[in-house]
Structure 1
């Protein structure tokens, strides 16, 4: 019995990406692989001043079928990365912003080349901290902490919801500062008179709860990047514990990693 066109394509794709011989793979696999490579080009501003090429050109460039291109573009549209319309074509909807992991910087410092970051301060007060915060900040029994909650915007676009816990001696001084227009990191260094030194960072994907979704203007259950960061002064004292929910459709986390094997394990030629 003859296979339908889509079924036949799902059994054997014509070529692999970049023209290499194709292994057996499904149309969905091809679409996902194509979308990953095209996403990288979009992030690199390859289409900043023009629309994306037609489906036929993309199929030829990436060595995939037109159907795989169409499905891959649908994935990127669902992410909010591109817009598509008849007789208009395909265009980048709104770019994502790189947030580096190679240096200890606040969001305002990180995105200074893209515009002004402002903070909508929702809460800023002294609290009795939960036990988990007490442990992480190495607080004494009965010691308070300062809690700050902010929604952070680039222009009118909400990028992150930041929940920050500070040790009391530093936090109390920060409460009187300009929290709307400054990174907390900058204020900590001004108050302490010494620089921040290091941070422990964990990043994971979480679904937006109702509170986060409302503040970040995303649907309930949307994918967010949760960055947990414990920051220390240069002398090693932990002073700042943050839980930062970032819009995954607007932020890309980037780093430059270097592998340093023991030279003695390698034979140099």
Structure 2
């Protein structure tokens, strides 16, 4: 079951099925050499994950549209002429934007004294009307001053660009964690659902870190693509 689940889950998130319509149970059985019980169990799992809907007489339909982006773009390294990370496909719903003393542990990551003024900007990222992730950012001055009143419409890098904030380096530390009750409510998922966690530090041209972010991403709605070639 898990092998068929993995194959179908990947195809669903990549938008492989024409019109979002999955093959019939009989077609899946024939294509993958699976029993009817295995196919039904697999589809039940995908339905519980919120990826498909099944209706008698209608069939099995995809009900999710995932965002896919190159990992290099997620770092904010943009191709020439591209205005924002995801070409303005995302929009933001702000939860908090306030100047606060920088917390001690955040100060350690950014290499500055605790308590210095920083901008805390927390938001939910939406694709259409559906939440895909959320982030809490701690931004140092002078960048914080430029961003404090800048309208936040699309993705984080569009906000930086529109506020006139330059950046050159980005570091990700990725992991996973179950969604707590508050995060689950904001992202429209069940408490305990798995999330991709990302701790990000963004630095300026001199290598000075000025932005620390704690990001929680729905793995069923956001796909990072990373490609590499072996050098000979």
Correspondent of 1:149 among 114, 117, 122: 122
Q: What whole-Å deviation, never above 9, does each CA across 1:216-266 have from its counterpart, x for those lacking one?
A: 122222222211111112321111111111122211222113334xx4xxx
Q: In the alignment, is the contact (CA less than 8 A) between 1:102 and 1:256 conserved in 2?
A: no
- Quick one: structure 1 residues 214 and 233, their matched pair in 2 at CA, closer, same or farther if it must change by over 3 Å? same
Deviation at 1:53, TM superposition (A): 1.4
> How many residue pairs end up in the alignment?
226
Q: What whole-Å deviation, never above 9, does each CA across 1:45-66 have from its counterpart, x for those lacking one?
A: 2213152111121111122222
Cross-structure match for 2:100: 127
Q: Distance in 2 between matches of 1:57 and 1:141?
A: 61
Matched, 1:237 2:208: yes
Cross-structure match for 2:80: none
Correspondent of 2:146 among 160, 173, 176: 173
Q: Distance in 1 between matches of 2:58 and 2:69?
A: 32
Gaps of 5+ in 1: 1-30, 264-269
Q: Residue 102 of structure 1: SS of its match in structure 2?
A: helix
Q: Distance in 2 between matches of 1:226 and 1:173?
A: 27
Gaps of 5+ in 2: 78-82
Q: Residue 53 of structure 1: SS of its match in structure 2?
A: coil
TM-score normalised to the size of structure 2? 0.87
- Quick one: structure 1 residues 118 and 187, their matched pair in 2 at CA, closer, same or farther if it must change by over 3 Å? closer
- Quick one: structure 1 residues 50 and 244, their matched pair in 2 at CA, closer, same or farther if it must change by over 3 Å? closer
Structure number, greater radius of gyration: 1
Q: Identify which of structures 1 and 2 has the higher relative contact order when contacts are C-alpha pairs closer than 8 Å and 6+ apart.
A: 2
Moved over 4 A (4+): 189-193
- Quick one: structure 1 residues 141 and 90, their matched pair in 2 at CA, closer, same or farther if it must change by over 3 Å? closer
Q: Distance in 1 between matches of 2:2 and 2:222?
A: 20
Deviation at 1:182, TM superposition (A): 4.2
- Quick one: structure 1 residues 46 and 164, their matched pair in 2 at CA, closer, same or farther if it must change by over 3 Å? same
Cross-structure match for 2:221: 250
Q: What whole-Å deviation, never above 9, does each CA across 1:173-209 have from its counterpart, x for those lacking one?
A: 2102112x14343443455564x22211122221111
Q: Distance in 2 between matches of 1:79 and 1:120?
A: 24
Q: Residue 12 of structure 2: SS of its match in structure 1?
A: helix
Deviation at 1:128, TM superposition (A): 1.3
Q: After superposing the two structures, state which structure 1 stretch, 134-143 or 243-252, moved more.
A: 134-143
Deviation at 1:164, TM superposition (A): 0.3
Matched, 1:112 2:87: yes
Matched, 1:92 2:65: no
Correspondent of 1:159 among 111, 132, 149: 132
Q: Distance in 1 between matches of 2:60 and 2:124?
A: 31
